[in-house]
Amino acid sequence: MSVGPYVAVGSEAIGKAIVENICSSTAILMKHHGVFTVGVTP
């Protein structure tokens, strides 16, 4: 699992940070936020 930096919520910045830091993983732990996951919906 990747680990991303703290980014304030409320703008596109958090989405951009997730995309920039998630690499080839399907989950990322964002500092002071928690886990974000991506994947196909069954």
Instruction: Assess whether pLDDT exceeds 90 at residue 16.
Output: yes
Decide if 42 is inside a domain.
no
Decide if 15 is inside a domain.
yes
Percent of the chain with pLDDT over 90: 88
Place of tokens 């886990």: 35
Instruction: Assess whether pLDDT exceeds 90 at residue 42.
Output: no
CA distance 21 to 7: 12
Decide if 12 is inside a domain.
yes
Q: Which helix (H) or strand (E) holds 19?
A: helix 13-21
Decide if 23 is inside a domain.
yes
The count of other CB atoms within 10 Å of the CB of residue 28 is 21
Domains: count for the chain: 1
pLDDT averaged over every residue in the chain: 93
Domain containing 25 equals: 2-37
Residues with Cβ within 8 Å of 19's Cβ and at least 6 positions away in sequence, in order, are none
